[in-house]
Amino acid sequence: MKEIFISHDKHQEDNLLGILRSYGMAPAAPCGGKGICGKCRVRILKGDTTLCAPYDENQVITREEWDNGYRLACRTRVVEDLVIEVPDSHNANANIMTDCFSDTHLKPVIFKKYIELSKPSLIDQASDVDRIEREAGGAVVRDIDLVRKLPDILKNNDYKVTCVIAADEIIAVEGGDTSGACYGVAVDIGTTTIVGMLIDLNTGAEVAIYSCLNPQKQYGDDVISRIDYTRSYPDGLSKLNSLIINQLNDMLGFFCSKYDIPPACIYHMNLVGNTVMIHILSAVSVDSIAISPFNPVFTRFVGARGKDFGLDMCPEGLVTVLPTPAGYIGADTIACLSACGMAAQPGQALMIDIGTNGEIALGNRENIVACAAAAGPAFEGGHIECGVGGIAGAINKVRLDKSHVSYTTIDDAPAMGICGSGLVDAIAGMLKLGLIDSTGKIITRQEARERFSIDIVSRLRECSGKPCFLIASKETGAQRDIYITQKDIREVQLAKAAIMAGIKVLLHECKADYDDIETVYLAGGFGNYIDMDSATAIGLIPVELRDKIVPIGNGALTGAKLSLKSSDQMAEAGRIYKLIRYVELSSRPDFQDLFVDCMELV
């Protein structure tokens, strides 16, 4: 379950189903939003439920459910601010909470300390600042603005105050005992999706999660288009920067309004993301990242305060970002490495984060090499004829035998496309049956007729004059015909070749082979849902590593969360940054050959 705040100001009278979709969610709505199928139901927790949608006995909601606030998103209009509860199945990023690693020891960078100071006397003339500092365990005041405020805070609160301490600095002093309210937010800024988590820094509790599309998407799906935009318009960078800052403020607003937390009680925002996203977040030029030699402006974020970034949190609160070691190895990779713990282990491990760029890292606690393979968006459904992301109705599993094709969809919704895991399943199945050969070529109906059922043969079709294979058809309940084209197979081959060649380069760099690798950590939603047998069958992951794979879900967010909860983990991220050596694939003479070699489906 996920709770979402819907602002009336922002979404006047809009239909709730549309709003959820604009937030990157995908509630199933096979009836087309006619209020018949009942799949898009949500529950209204706050807001006038009567005004939102009149009761309709024809809707597939019982009167009792109705009275408990349940509504169909497609039939609900936003006539005032709402807080709604959305089932995980509506969420395109249902995997965001996946976190297969045990929690870290709670020791946040930021903590509060309530102190009752002795009052000044002729025997004890210590200054206000000294008076605070001697009770603050070695932390000191460094901000002249805090010094200016201090006398009034002390006098108006009878010298009973709460210090907000960040490492060795007292960043704020609050009147009375406010030690109970101390929050932080961990954020993964993806090129596509932004996910944030509100954490109670006193208890480590993960209070809430927030997910939305990256609003920069309107300026391009990938980082290169975003960079192009900043290069093409004088205000391009500042525009993309404002979009992300505003979105983060929406997130903070949601958390604060939902949990009744004053914005000033959010003292730390710890962010990860790829290097381009982090540069844009910091309003730093991304020009150099797009063109060879792809060097970023910074790799180690210099640190900032909430007020420096215009964030609606404690103005003196910390804004931290994990290091971004290279133009195409970002803070998200550091976070994944920290989340899976491979940089702390003696044995060699491989970490693969498959997305538009496949980030790959190999190593152990002494040495890590990393590279970025331009895998393209095939595994996210991009550049695939019938491809979709991991949303309701996406075909996520496919089984083929000589006579039949079967599949499942996310949320069991009528099929409306195929996502990465379904695609890999389908190609692996076709390869195994011989519907494609190891070069990826789809066989002709002629060739198929001798070996396959009529059903299979009939699925071998043509699409714009090119061969394709039908997975699901309208006649059997899908929302549309869903097939895999010859070009789709080529896209997958290119993507998996890039990743496989990257793995081989790293092995070469480490003078290691598959036997040396103890674990393969697979990050990202795709890593969670992919069928490992299919992945090894097509050679996306070497078959030798089949039994060593451990999916780690959204390792980026997990890493951001861990370093928010623990200054040791924050330091560990810094250590990983120093440990890591980036290998630029484009500068390697052997990469092109390896890439071509890996095109074969084996």
CB of 332 to a second copy, least distance (A): 17
Which residues, numbered 465-504, are part of the site for a second copy (CB under 8 A)? none
How far is CA 445 from its chain centroid?
Answer: 42
CB of 163 to a second copy, least distance (A): 15
Q: Nearer to a second copy by C-beta: 309 or 407?
A: 309
Q: Nearer to a second copy by C-beta: 160 or 300?
A: 300
Q: Nearer to a second copy by C-beta: 95 or 324?
A: 324
Which residues, numbered 321-350, are part of the site for a second copy (CB under 8 A)? 326-327
3-class secondary-structure state, position 460? strand
Contact with a second copy (CB under 8 A) among 32, 137, 151, 434 = 151
SS (H, E, C) 548-567: HEEEEECHHHHHHHHHHHEH
3-class secondary-structure state, position 387? strand
Q: Nearer to a second copy by C-beta: 238 or 403?
A: 238
Contact call for residue 148 and a second copy (CB under 8 A): yes
Q: Nearer to a second copy by C-beta: 130 or 544?
A: 130
Contact call for residue 298 and a second copy (CB under 8 A): yes
Q: Nearer to a second copy by C-beta: 187 or 419?
A: 187
Give the binding range for a second copy (CB under 8 A) out of 92-100, 136-144, 471-479, 560-568. Answer: 136-144
Which element (helix H / strand E) includes 367? strand 367-373
Which element (helix H / strand E) includes 173? strand 169-175
Which residues, numbered 116-135, are part of the site for a second copy (CB under 8 A)? 120-130
Number of residues that bind a second copy (CB under 8 A): 45
Give the binding range for a second copy (CB under 8 A) out of 11-19, 388-396, 519-527, 580-588. Answer: 580-588
Contact with a second copy (CB under 8 A) among 447, 516, 568, 584 = 584
CB of 301 to a second copy, least distance (A): 8
Say if CB 525 and CB 95 are below 8 A apart: yes
CB of 513 to a second copy, least distance (A): 27
How far is the C-alpha of 299 from the C-alpha of 213, rounded, in Å? 25
Residue 353 half-sphere exposure toward CB, CA atoms < 13 A: 28
How far is the C-alpha of 585 from the C-alpha of 581, rounded, in Å? 12
Q: What is the DSSP string of 102-116?
A: PPPP-B-SEEEEEEE
CB of 246 to a second copy, least distance (A): 19
How far is the C-alpha of 68 from the C-alpha of 34, rounded, in Å? 22
Contact call for residue 589 and a second copy (CB under 8 A): no
Contact with a second copy (CB under 8 A) among 587, 592, 596, 597 = 587
Q: Nearer to a second copy by C-beta: 135 or 447?
A: 135
Say if CB 536 and CB 546 are below 8 A apart: yes
Q: Nearer to a second copy by C-beta: 207 or 284?
A: 284
Q: What is the DSSP string of 192-237?
A: SEEEEEEEETTT--EEEEEEEE-GGGGG-SSHHHHHHHHHHSTTHH
CB of 449 to a second copy, least distance (A): 52
Tell me how crowded residue 235 is: count the other CB atoms within 10 A of its CB.
10
Contact call for residue 509 and a second copy (CB under 8 A): no
Q: Nearer to a second copy by C-beta: 17 or 150?
A: 150
CB of 130 to a second copy, least distance (A): 6
Chain position carrying tokens 């002249």: 144
Tell me how crowded residue 340 is: count the other CB atoms within 10 A of its CB.
25
Contact with a second copy (CB under 8 A) among 31, 79, 181, 283 = 283
How far is the C-alpha of 249 from the C-alpha of 28, rounded, in Å? 28
- What value, to the nearest 5°, has the Cα angle with vertex 463 and ends 460 and 466? 80
Say if CB 100 and CB 550 are below 8 A apart: yes
How far is the C-alpha of 189 from the C-alpha of 332, rounded, in Å? 8
Contact call for residue 32 and a second copy (CB under 8 A): no
How far is the C-alpha of 461 from the C-alpha of 467, rounded, in Å? 6
Q: Nearer to a second copy by C-beta: 304 or 433?
A: 304
Contact with a second copy (CB under 8 A) among 147, 167, 205, 596 = 147
CB of 300 to a second copy, least distance (A): 7
Q: For residue 288, which amino acid is it?
A: S
The β-bridge relationship of strands 517-523 and 348-353 is parallel
CB of 588 to a second copy, least distance (A): 9
CB of 288 to a second copy, least distance (A): 6
Q: Nearer to a second copy by C-beta: 58 or 125?
A: 125
Q: Nearer to a second copy by C-beta: 81 or 169?
A: 169
Contact with a second copy (CB under 8 A) among 16, 82, 97, 141 = 141
3-class secondary-structure state, position 352? strand
CB of 155 to a second copy, least distance (A): 9
Contact with a second copy (CB under 8 A) among 296, 382, 524, 555 = 296
Give long-range contacts, CB 8 A cutoff, 24+ apart: 139-148: 139/163, 139/165, 139/166, 139/167, 139/168, 139/169, 139/170, 140/168, 140/169, 140/170, 141/169, 141/170, 142/169, 143/171, 143/316, 145/316, 146/170, 146/171, 146/172, 146/173, 146/316
Binding map of a second copy across residues 84-123, x = CB under 8 A, - = no contact? ------------------------------------xxxx
3-class secondary-structure state, position 444? coil
Applying CB under 8 A, the residues found at the interface with a second copy are 120-130, 141-144, 147-148, 150-152, 282-285, 287-288, 292-300, 302-304, 308, 326-327, 582, 584, 586-587
